[in-house]
Chains A and B, each alone.
Chain A
Amino acid sequence: MARRKLTLIFIGVFCLIMVVPFILGAGKAQSAPKLDLDTPEIAALDVKECIEPVEYMRSSHMTLLDQWRNDVVREGKTAYVSSTGQVYEMSLDDTCLSCHSNPDQFCESCHAYSNVDLYCWECHGLTDDGVVGEG
């Protein structure tokens, strides 16, 4: 029966669509990229501590950076007081990247993994060898 065949084709297509992620996912690395904290700058630090707790930085670094950008560009503020009372300069280049001098790995690997567009470098120039400066 032609009609019954159409039904089976319909179910077949449906099942195929449903298993596509599993086929594509089969045998794929399931763990998130490991972040490399082993930079000479970090190694030189006495207290190996970011400006805010790691959990917060993982989920919310983008809002922090966004806030910094607005404060610096629009309000002319430059000092950031962290939750522990420490004062840092609000600067991607001079604060963040001074320790995380490996943005190719540290930033890009996660952003690629979760497919989030990373557009910091549109303004903050980044050369091939990872040295910060005018692009």
Chain B
Amino acid sequence: MRILAPFLLVVALALLAWASTAFLHLNLLFGVIIPYAAFALFVVGFAIRVMRWGASAVPFRITTTCGQQKSLPWVRQAKLDNPSSYAGVAGRMLLEVLFFRSLFRNSKAEKRDEKLGYGSAKWLWLGALAFHWSMLIIVVRHFRLFLDPVPELIGVIEGADSVLQIGIPLLYITDVVIVGALTFLFLRRVVLPRIRFVSLSIDYFPLFLLLGIALTGIVLRYGVRVDVTGVKEVAMGLVSFSPVAPEGIEPLLFAHLFLVCALIVYFPWSKLMHAPGVFFSPTRNLANNSRMVRHVNPWNYDVKVHTYAEYEQDFGEKMRKVGLPLDSE
């Protein structure tokens, strides 16, 4: 149920868009109205969620330190894993965001008979990195459809992505990698007992959605093949706010587009917000310098304490007997 329901939902979404355009010719709805609405919901939803995090206070510096602190001058500090300066924090965040530093640290624990052992475990890191980088490159590649003239850089990225020169149209490396990585990420949720135990429907749904988007995209390029100039015409119409009703376009394209819309509408209200979230994580984005510079808690309030005077009142007699100095004398 946890797996089947999100799978069926994604299939239904794709079919809905395909059938609505193939038979009902709701091209304007699926090619213009829904994409605009989805985009607006994405940007607004994203901003609201981030703003909500921003509205919460950061009362304490709770950096998770993963290396030597800055202390005595002759002790070598781990400036990235335990930063004490803004530059160090920036470096740590870059490593985290671009290369998934913490996931790279991953290890695997096993119990054999009565012994615990630890081993290296880089597969999750590799799969996650492969997926995220592929996705970034694919998104950037798509800007050839939204920009006219197409910037040089996008051509360079496309060229690098198809550098293997396999087939016509040229095979993109990222197309293969993203499907492989998503399949890996899905399979580990099904096969590994621990991951299966913690996985929810909301973990499978985005995976299926992304797989659906990738697969329809691949079919559109290598299988049914659409007239790219016609697609670009539609895309350019959208970004220049002079949308044209898309006619004569393969219905599968609308399935692809609709799944993308579903993804970005779902994005701000789901765990996919881990993308901006990583920038806000107090255990990562704060310098471990709270002994050097006072961190201020905006809601710090006075509390009731047991003062020394009260303590002396309670124990003064006993203190006097053992010769401890008293304030009251």
- Nearest CB of A to B218, in Å: 15
B50 touches A58 (CB 8 A): no
Count residues of B near A (Cβ-Cβ below 8 Å).
44
- Nearest CB of B to A119, in Å: 10
Interface residue? B148 (CB, 8 A) = yes
A14 touches B276 (CB 8 A): yes
Interface residue? B168 (CB, 8 A) = yes
Chain A proximity mask over B20-39: 1 for CB below 8 Å, otherwise 0: 00000000000000000001
- Nearest CB of B to A25, in Å: 3
A8 touches B54 (CB 8 A): yes
Contacts of A112 in B (CB 8 A): 149
Of chain A, the residue at the smallest CB distance from B162 is A117
B47 touches A113 (CB 8 A): no
Of chain B, the residue at the smallest CB distance from A116 is B228
B229 touches A62 (CB 8 A): no
- Nearest CB of B to A117, in Å: 7
Report the tally of A-B residue pairs with Cβ distances under 8 A.
Answer: 103
A7 touches B50 (CB 8 A): yes
Which of these binds chain A: B67-75, B172-180, B189-197, B235-243? B235-243
Contacts of B123 in A (CB 8 A): none
Interface residue? B101 (CB, 8 A) = no
A63 touches B232 (CB 8 A): no
Contacts of A29 in B (CB 8 A): 148, 236
Interface residue? A15 (CB, 8 A) = yes
A25 touches B236 (CB 8 A): yes
Most buried by B among A28, A30, A113: A30
Interface residue? A86 (CB, 8 A) = no
Most buried by B among A4, A24, A25, A58: A25
Contacts of A27 in B (CB 8 A): 240
Known: A10-B276, A59-B227. A3 touches B54 (CB 8 A): yes
Interface residue? B60 (CB, 8 A) = no
**8 A Cβ contacts from A16-63 to B:** 18, 21-22, 24-33, 55, 58-60, 62-63
**8 A Cβ contacts from A56-89 to B:** 58-60, 62-63, 65-66
Contacts of A14 in B (CB 8 A): 43, 46-47, 50, 276
Contact of B47 among A1, A15, A26, A30 (CB under 8 A): A15
Chain A proximity mask over B121-163: 1 for CB below 8 Å, otherwise 0: 0000000000000000000000111111110001100110000
- Nearest CB of A to B40, in Å: 10
- Nearest CB of A to B28, in Å: 15
Known: A3-B54, A14-B46, A113-B148. A22 touches B229 (CB 8 A): no
Contacts of B144 in A (CB 8 A): 114-115
B143 touches A114 (CB 8 A): no
Interface residue? B51 (CB, 8 A) = yes
B168 touches A66 (CB 8 A): yes
Contacts of A33 in B (CB 8 A): 229
A28 touches B229 (CB 8 A): no
Interface residue? A107 (CB, 8 A) = no
Of chain B, the residue at the smallest CB distance from A62 is B168
- Nearest CB of A to B316, in Å: 46
Interface residue? A110 (CB, 8 A) = yes
Known: A14-B47, A30-B244. A7 touches B53 (CB 8 A): yes
Contacts of B3 in A (CB 8 A): none
Q: Beyond the given A7-B51, A117-B159, could you list 14 further A-B residue pairs with CB under 8 A, ordered by the A residue number?
A: A3-B54, A4-B54, A7-B53, A10-B279, A14-B46, A14-B50, A15-B43, A21-B146, A25-B148, A30-B240, A63-B168, A114-B229, A115-B144, A115-B158
Instruction: Enumerate 10 A-B pairs (CB-CB under 8 Å) in ascending A order.
Output: A6-B54, A14-B43, A21-B143, A28-B148, A28-B239, A30-B233, A32-B232, A60-B225, A113-B229, A117-B158
